[in-house]
Structure formats: C-alpha cells, structure tokens
Amino acid sequence: MIRSEYSRAWYHANRERVLARRKELLLRPENRVKRDTYMQKYVERNREALETRKQSWSQRRFSDLKTEVIAAYGGRCVCCGVDEPRLLTIDHSNRDGKEHRKQLGRKNVYQFLKEQGWPQDGYRLLCISCNWVTRYGEPCPHVEQDAWVFAAPPCGVAEATLEIVNA
C-alpha cells in the first residue's frame, strides 16, 4: 500500500478522533491569538467574496421565506386584492406589531410565523399601501367608511380623488 493510500484509509477510520483533536488544539487559550490573527487576515483578503456570498444567501433565504408566507396567508392583499409579491407584507391586525418585533429581537417576523405554524389569528396579508394607511388605526381607502369613498387613480394618473357619497 502506498503511503498516501494508507494515510487516507487511516484518516477515514479515525476521522472522529482527528476532528476532536483539531478542535481541542484550536480552542486552547495559547492558540487563540494565532487563530484570531489568521481569521483577521483571511477576512481582509476575502472581504468581497464573503460579503457577496453572505448577501446572496441571505436574499435567497428571505425571498423563499416570503414566498411561503404569501402562500400561507392567501396570496393576495385581503383589502384590495393586490397579488404582486414585492408589494405584500404581514400586518398585525391587533395593532401590536411594534411590541411583537421588540419581543422577537433579531428574529424575523416571517420566521416566527413559520415556526408557529402560520397562525391566522392576529395576522393578515396586506399590500404595503393598505398596511401604511391602516398603521395608525385609519380605515383602509378601499373600504367604504361613512359617506366617504376613496377613488384610487387608474395607472398613469397622478392624483386620487375623494368623493362624497349619499350626501
């Protein structure tokens, strides 16, 4: 048996022991400075590649998660019916979104909803326009309120109009 074949066979037979020993050596206090210095130099040399890899992974992960959220909550705005994924977002229908995000800390609301099995109570899917309008308890312009109706402008028209109905 050639030396390299023997080494490869020995490594595979003793892999767990080798990895445990490497980890033990790596974590020793006397090796910490050496390890930290090596990592700093590595990050400096490869900063762009590391950032690109991190961003693309993060973006893919968030995009996939948002697609799951949209599917779980009906696929369209419950108020106006918009179904463009870039415009859809989760609304805390109990108006407690700020407190909820504070409780979650760094965890994403979408990830929380997935872990909870997509709870329907207290959450709804709205387009960003409906979400912003209802943010402070205002009624959504797509829903008739008293005698006022909001007439949304057609595409290409700059202004919306308010009309008085049954006055």
Q: Are residues 59 and 36 in the same domain?
A: no
pLDDT value, residue 60: 85
Provide mean pLDDT across the span 26-54.
Answer: 87
Q: What percent of the chain has pLDDT over 70?
A: 84
Query: Looking at the structure, do residues 11 and 92 belong to the same domain, yes or no?
Result: no
Query: Is residue 88 domain-shared with residue 63, that is, in the same domain?
Result: yes
Same domain for 71 and 10, yes or no, is no
Same domain, 63 and 133: yes
pLDDT tens digits for 117-126?
A: 999 888 999 9
Rounded-to-integer distance, Cα 49 and Cα 77, Å: 38
Going by C-alpha positions, the residue among 85, 59, 61, 60 that lies closest to residue 72 is 85
Residue 3 has pLDDT above 80, yes or no: no
CA distance 101 to 132: 17
Q: Which amino acid is present at 87? A: L
Question: Total domain count for the chain?
Answer: 2
| Short-list 156, 154, 58, CA closest to 106 | 58
SS3 content of the chain, % helix, strand, coil (to 5): 55, 10, 30
Q: For 70-104, what is each residue's pLDDT tens digit?
A: 999 999 998 888 899 989 999 888 888 888 888 88
Q: How far is residue 25's CA from residue 61's CA, in Å, rounded to a whole number? A: 34
**Do 110 and 157 share a domain, yes or no?**
yes
List the structure tokens of 85: 């994924």
CB atoms within 10 A of CB 83: 14
Identify whether residues 126 and 65 lie together within a single domain: yes
Q: Are 31 and 56 in a shared domain?
A: no
Domain extent, residue 19, equals 3-45
